[in-house]
Chain A
Amino acid sequence: DTEVTQTPKHLVMGMTNKKSLKCEQHMGHRAMYWYKQKAKKPPELMFVYSYEKLSINESVPSRFSPECPNSSLLNLHLHALQPEDSALYLCASSQETRLAYGYTFGSGTRLTVV
């Protein structure tokens, strides 16, 4: 299995809702990432997990809460989001947190906040 699987593919949520994005990989990768991508813009790094520990938080608002329950799973919990948080949320994984190892991205979750 050489894929990163993200669910759901599409999500519409209200500003008072609580929802979660899920990411799964079975490649034995020990680093996992969350990126946010707005239309016509490059992906922006949000969080980096290395060996199931949060190693980088790029000053992301607390309404985004990441969680890594085990080495194969990465969640992003969403609460009290704003319409400007609407974007494509991408998960990626790599063997370790070194750029020499190619990063494998999922197809993303298209999030719309209404």
Chain B
Amino acid sequence: LAKTTQPISMDSYEGQEVNITCSHNNIATNDYITWYQQFPSQGPRFIIQGYKTKVTNEVASLFIPADRKSSTLSLPRVSLSDTAVYYCLVGDTSGNTGKLIFGQGTTLQVKP
């Protein structure tokens, strides 16, 4: 699986838009980019997944440039409850290994 690099931590304030960028320079042609969110003492929760350009759901947007060597998770108008660790994962979604490997993640702290 391609290695990912994210900032260790980020701070934001309530109501702001937060963008977390993930670098994945050796992403392969068949790889998709997936983001998970984890609150303390809970399991990770799937947020969004994409292959190229832009994907949006009710929770977040995912921006992927043409070269796909990075991606940006965008959280609109964050609240205190968005304080969590966010993981970027890259892997071949057509593969059958089931090896979902987590990187170090980004700890987002939202302040009032």
Task: Name A's B-contacting residues (CB within 8 A).
Answer: 4, 31, 33, 42-45, 48, 50, 55-56, 88, 90-92, 94, 96-100, 102-108, 110
Contact = CB atoms under 8 A, between A and B. Distances in A.
B112 interface: no
B112 to A, nearest CB: 24
Interface string B34-46: 1010000111111
B40 to A, nearest CB: 10
Interface string B69-112: 00000000000000000010101111111111111110000000
A26 B1 CA distance: 29
A43 B100 CA distance: 10
B98 A107 contact: no
Main secondary structure of the interface of B (DSSP, over half): loop
B60 to A, nearest CB: 14
B109 to A, nearest CB: 14
A105 B98 contact: no
A98 B102 contact: no
Which of A99, A106, A107 has the most CB atoms of chain B within a 10 A radius of its CB? A99
Contact of B94 (A43, A55, A92, A100): A100
Nearest to A43: B102
Given A42-B104, A105-B43, A108-B43, 19 more contacts: A4-B43, A43-B44, A44-B102, A45-B101, A55-B97, A55-B98, A56-B99, A90-B43, A92-B43, A92-B100, A98-B96, A98-B98, A99-B32, A100-B49, A102-B49, A103-B100, A104-B46, A105-B44, A107-B43
